[in-house]
Structure 1
Amino acid sequence: MLWWLPLTAVMVPVLGAFIIGFIQEDKQAPRSKVAIITVLISFVVVLFNFKNIAAGGAMEMVFFSLAGAEFVLRADAFSAVFALVCNSLWILSIIYATGYMEEHLNHRRFFTFYVLNLGVACGIAFSGNLFTLFIFYKLLTLTTFPLVAHSQTAEARKATMNYVYYSVASGAMILYTVIILQNFLNQGLLSELTFTPGGVLGTLSVDLGYTMLLAFVVGFLGFAVKAAMIPFHPWLPGAMVAVAPVSALFHAVAVVNTGVFGIVRLVYYIYGPDWVAASGLYLALVFFAVITMIVGSCRALVEDQLKLRLAYSTISQMGYLTLGAVLLMPAALTGTMLHFFNHAFLKITLFFCAGIIISMTGRTKISQLGGIGKRYPRTMFTFSIAALGLVGVPPICGYLIKLYLLRASIEIGGGFETVLIISLVIMSAILNAIYYLPIVFKAFWGDSDFGEEEKLPKEKPLLLYPAMFLAFCCILLGLFPAFITIPLAELVVNSVF
């Protein structure tokens, strides 16, 4: 019984954050070393989780129960994949944050919560049921809002309160679903609520009436708030007042991806794809995802603030992830699993580059960045790779989600749905190109907005090298998905279909 492995993945960052909290404010080097070592150890623990899942090891432990609801940590294929994404990117994020935060105040507080959030993210990944997932979602809000408010400006406080309001609403909706499902379990109408591949309800659960249907809708919307889907998105652009390392994690793994993670858990591990298909909600869920894809891209088109354009791009990408999840097809879900990796690597690269540009030049608007590629060619080349990846240009990894969605639409069997999904995926790709490519063209070939005599600082290695390494990884993930990410995605998909 290897129940302690998921617990260790959660507790190692918690312990590391505890140690960081006791290191004096002026001791930056020891604090950075502790943070990096903590994340590396957590990464190794997650790899051991993978090894034991492949070997069929039992990794589940019930720690306590409340009114019949059990707090369970459990490792399965999906949790291990998500934890691997989180831990992989946190390593580079810690290195980047070490360089970025050198000129900022309150290092101890920042790195305490920055590392602590990895433990909460691992807790979300290894939650064994919806009740446990709800608890870690609440902890995620408590440990991320100090990072949003870190600068302590009036704008940061306002954005933080907005983020907290939306998070509280999200948690309330998820709690409603937990209470309804737990009530059915206590009445003996359900056999269990532990996350089970393929769902625990089955098609017969439709007979439980509209209460079960309402619980699904409310829970789905609760996770959609966390994923910043349209129209529950305003908190995410507002949170861009946070420093670049925080923005990067918000968009890559720490918050919005956990929302889609919850949607996949709800659809495939609680209710089950058969129940969702029979519920009559299929078209509504697809419509919801498609609206997020298109509206997010349209909003990005008119945004001049660099970080805000990236934020609306993230909202659009959450539509891609959700669409792959709600199409209820193996090919589409495979695309979603792949995009958990690909979008995270691409988007964190973009935010790292945006952080370099903003911190080096003090300029935040795209209209102010003409000629920036001549001053910072390595940064903008790295940015261009990630931008082209999200447009869907092979061999950079972002093309895979579009490929799998197109494949799934063809497998539907033709007709209106096939034509509609293909058209929308192509339209979204075109929109991505329209709002990303002008940034690249302006940076390299536009008229310079920088005077010839204007002195700009050099790129810091601790900021540049993590971004460049991530861009290289994005190319590898696109060139060799059959050897890297596709086996991991199929491990999850084959367990639920």
Structure 2
Amino acid sequence: MNDAGGLLLTILLSSLLPGIAIFFLAEHRRRLRIGLNLTGAVTKLVLVGVLLLGVLRGDEYRFSLPLMPGIDLVLAADSLSLLFATLSAVLWLVTTVYAIGYLEHSPRRSRFFGFFSLCVSATVGIALSGNLITFLIFYEILTLATWPLVVHRGTPAALRAGRLYLGYTLTSGLVLFTAIVWLTLLAGAEGFTPGGYLESLAETHAVTLQVLFVLLMVGFGVKAALVPLHSWLPIAMVAPAPVSALLHAVAVVKAGAFGIVRVVNDVYGAELALELGLTTGLLVVAAITILYGSIQALRAQDLKQRLAFSTVSQVAYIVLGVALAGPLGVIGGLVHLVHQGLTKITLFFCAGNFAETLGIHKVREMDGVGRRMPWTMLAFTMGALGMIGLPPLAGFVTKWHLGLGALQVDALWVLWVLVLSGLLNAAYFLPPIIRGWLGERREPWPEPMREQIGPTRFETHWMLLVPTLLVAALSILTGLLAAVGLSPLGWVAVIVQRDYIIPGLDT
């Protein structure tokens, strides 16, 4: 292992080691637990920044550990992995601060934050995975590390959600394991390669490659919440708000979508996927998921449930862009990795603030909350308008590029999907905005529900409010500054131009 590979390993250990230490802390060791959490989160962010600067200089980073003959655990850094790793590191630091405030007087905090740290380790491991074998290992670790967070409250509803979550994810993991072993036997344990590495097998194993693609999409599609594999996600919303934010914006669903991106672009390659007719089916599934998730969100009256079905819809935009298999569509899909993460974590933080401060769980209970909690309601409004796609917010940037991508590959029907989904987004996000700002509360607001929110100069505890405003500001800036080279859009454009072999890229 060289120094470059050592940096990749250190990034993983920066959250893994504090997490292991936190497991052994007594509940009353509050300051030490907070110190370990924040030290790990800040250290990871700094190290990812160092890695990013190195990759921009042209340095190569690779760590390899033999597992068995011909199969290695491989960590590697490319521009796409750094996009996901940077998003994870930034949002994990913010979510850590939020979770500390949210769980201040809750039981089992050491267990919670121990698994919380394991989750970030697994997510960054997924981002830095250099081949499918490594991806699978961290993918399954993520499943096992998130289950205790889903069932953290220990209620019957939480335990039921946990069983459903394990049932879906472990089954999908078995499917994924089968597909990856089969593919490894067929093509060897190759690393992720721009343009894919299966072209030589197209003539002799076309049907096998098609079957394997379906299995891989099922394996990753469960965590990506593609219809009809999505049912676990809305039910998992019984988990605490930081866990909901974790599932939707940073870890689980994003890991599934990232896996689909890797398979299409770095295992099969867009050209082979088109040649085998694989992208059409994936495009249809993504379109159905976008519309179905939006319709279900419109029907949901519980605020977190509405946001959960919105995630089902919004994550499918990533898959839609990749399945379009054209330069602009891929740019729209990849940049939505960032845009959806920032916007959705904003919305879940806001929902947590409403619930923990005033006991608001339903959309109908939001009447007048903008006058009681104006900053949280402002953040919610910006996040919701971003999801709708109002210019110049981040969601508009995504949908604009997806629309251009559909035109670029003559998939005109996708434009109608985008228009209809935008109308549905407005139909389920505008009512809570209107109620929050213009609704009339007929009875006094209750006192803050939780002890730590008690006497404060702010509308809620500062550790809940500050992270919410920070991610809301980031979600706004990614849209306003989209034309800047260092923006997520500029970053993704460089990724596609430099690292991806896509039909029509020169156009």
Both proteins in one fold, TM over 0.5: yes
* 1:73 aligned counterpart, secondary structure: strand
What SS class does the counterpart of residue 394 from structure 2 fall into?
coil
1:67, distance to aligned residue in structure 2 (A): 5.5
Are 1:363 and 2:360 an aligned pair?
Answer: yes
Question: Residues 206 and 149 from structure 1, CA distance in 2 versus in 1: closer, same or farther, beyond 3 angstroms?
Answer: farther
Residues 414-441 of structure 1, C-alpha deviations (whole Å, 9 max, x = no match): xxx32x1111101101100000000010
- The answer to whether residue 80 in structure 2 is matched with residue 78 in structure 1 is yes
**SS of residue paired to 1:64:** strand
The one-character-per-residue Cα deviations of 1:430-471 (angstroms, maximum 9, x if unpaired) are 10000000001011112315x137434541111011111111
Q: Secondary structure at the match of 1:184?
A: helix
Relative to the length of structure 2, the TM-score reads: 0.93
Q: Which residue of 2 aligns with 1:430?
A: 423
Q: Which amino acid aligns with 1:61?
A: F
Give 1:4's aligned residue: 6
Q: How many residues align?
A: 487
How far 1:387 sits from its partner (Å)? 0.4
Query: Which is worse superposed, 402-411 or 344-353?
Result: 402-411
Match of 2:483 in 1: 482
What SS does the corresponding residue of 1:65 show, helix, strand or coil?
strand
Q: Choose from 180, 183, 207 the match for 2:182.
A: 180
Q: Is the 2:98–2:467 Cα contact (8 Å) retained in structure 1?
A: yes
Of the three residues 341, 344, 349, the one matched with 1:347 is 344
Shift of 1:58: 2.4
Give the one of 115, 119, 128 matched to 1:117.
119
Aligned with 2:63: secondary structure? strand
Amino acid at match of 2:101: G
Task: Give the whole-Å Cα distance in 1 for the aligned partners of 2:203 and 2:274.
Answer: 11
Query: Are residue 337 (structure 1) and residue 338 (structure 2) matched?
Result: no
* 1:398-409 equivalence runs, <5 A: 398-409=395-406
Cα deviation for residue 92 of structure 1 reads: 0.6
- 2: distance between equivalents of 1:271 and 1:412? 19
Secondary structure of residue in 1 paired with 2:100: helix
1:28–1:107 contact (8 Å) kept in structure 2: no
Does the CA contact (< 8 Å) of 2:280 and 2:323 recur in 1?
A: no
Separation (CA, whole Å) in 1 of partners of 2:10 and 2:103:
28
* Maintained 8 Å contact 2:328/2:405: yes
Counterparts of 1:54 and 1:386 in 2: how far apart (Å)? 31
Displacement of 1:204 after TM fit? 5.0
- The correspondence of residues 379-458 of structure 1 with structure 2, limited to 5 A, is 379-413=376-410, 417-418=411-412, 420-449=413-442, 451-452=443-444, 454-456=446-448, 458=459
2:505 alignment counterpart: none
| d(CA) in 2 for partners of 1:208, 1:297 | 38
For residues 151-205 of structure 1, give each alpha carbon's deviation from its aligned partner in whole angstroms, at most 9, with x where no partner exists. 111111110011011111111111112111111135xxxxx52001111112652
- Is 1:306 the counterpart of 2:298? The answer is no
**Cα offset, 1:348, TM superposition:** 0.2
* 1-structure distance, mates of 2:336, 2:241: 22
The alignment status of 1:265 with 2:262, answered yes or no, reads yes
Alpha-carbon distance in structure 2 between the residues aligned to 1:200 and 1:333: 19
Equivalent runs, 1:161-310 vs 2, <5 Å: 161-185=163-187, 193-202=190-199, 204-310=201-307
**Structure 1 residue 279: deviation in Å?**
0.6
1:25 partner SS: coil
- Quick one: distance in 2 between partners of 1:408 and 1:125? 25
Deviates more, 1:53-62 or 1:432-441: 53-62
Distance across 2 between alignment mates of 1:173 and 1:55: 39
Deviates more, 1:86-95 or 1:457-466: 457-466
TM-score (norm 1): 0.95
Does the CA-based 8 Å contact 2:210-2:278 persist in structure 1?
Answer: no
Structure 2's unaligned 5+ residue stretches are: 449-453, 502-507
CA drift at 1:206: 4.2
**2:482 touches 2:488 (CA, 8 Å); kept in 1?**
yes
Query: Per the alignment, do residues 393 and 41 of structure 1 end up closer, same or farther by CA in structure 2, a change over 3 Å counting?
Result: same
Deviation (angstroms), 1:22: 2.9
Q: Distance in 1 between matches of 2:142 and 2:318?
A: 21
The SS at the match of 1:103 is coil
| Partner SS state of residue 105, structure 1 | coil
| AA of the residue aligned to 2:308 | A
After TM superposition, the structure 1 stretch with the greater mean CA deviation from structure 2, 73-82 or 453-462, is: 453-462
Q: 4+ residue stretches of structure 1 with deviation over 4 A?
A: none
Amino acid at match of 1:229: L
- Contact kept in structure 2, 1:69 and 1:182, CA below 8 Å: no
Partners of 2:336 and 2:197 lie apart in 1 by 26
Per-residue Cα deviation, 1:393-413 (whole angstroms, up to 9, x for no partner) = 122211111000111122124
Q: How many Å separate the matches in 2 of 1:281 and 1:45?
A: 38
Whether contact under 8 Å (1:180, 1:212) holds in the other structure is no
- With 192-201 and 59-68 compared, the bigger mean Cα shift is at 59-68
CA distance in 2: counterparts of 1:102 and 1:218, whole angstroms? 43
Give the letter for the 1:320 counterpart.
Y
- Aligned pair in 2 of structure 1 residues 302, 206: CA closer, same or farther (>3 Å)? farther
Q: Distance in 2 between the 1:116 and 1:61 partners?
A: 20
Equivalent AA in structure 2 for residue 176 of structure 1: T
The residue that corresponds to 1:96 in the other structure is 98
What secondary structure is seen at the aligned counterpart in 2 of 1:143?
Answer: helix
> 1:264-322: CA deviations, max 9, x gaps?
11011011111100012222111000000000000000100000000000000011111
Q: 290-299 vs 457-466, which deviates more? A: 457-466
Superposed CA offset, 1:249-272 (max 9, x none)? 100011001101000110110111
2:293 and 2:313 in contact (8 A); partners too: yes
1:124-143 paired onto structure 2 within 5 Å: 124-143=126-145
CA contact (8 A) 1:206 1:212 kept: no
Deviations 1:55-102 (A, max 9, x none): 222211220233633211111111111000000100110111111001
Distance in 1 separating the partners of 2:268 and 2:89: 29
Distance 1:454 1:209, change over 3 A: closer
Whether the aligned pair in 2 keeps the contact of 1:203 and 1:274 (CA below 8 Å) is no
Question: Could you tell me the percent identity over the aligned residues?
Answer: 36
Are the equivalent residues in 2 in contact too, given 1:356–1:463 (CA < 8 A)?
A: yes
> How far is 1:10 from its partner?
1.0
Alpha-carbon distance in structure 2 between the residues aligned to 1:453 and 1:43:
39
Distance 2:278 2:333 in 1: 20
RMSD: 1.4
Identify the range of structure 1 (199-208 vs 363-372) with the bigger mean alpha-carbon deviation.
199-208
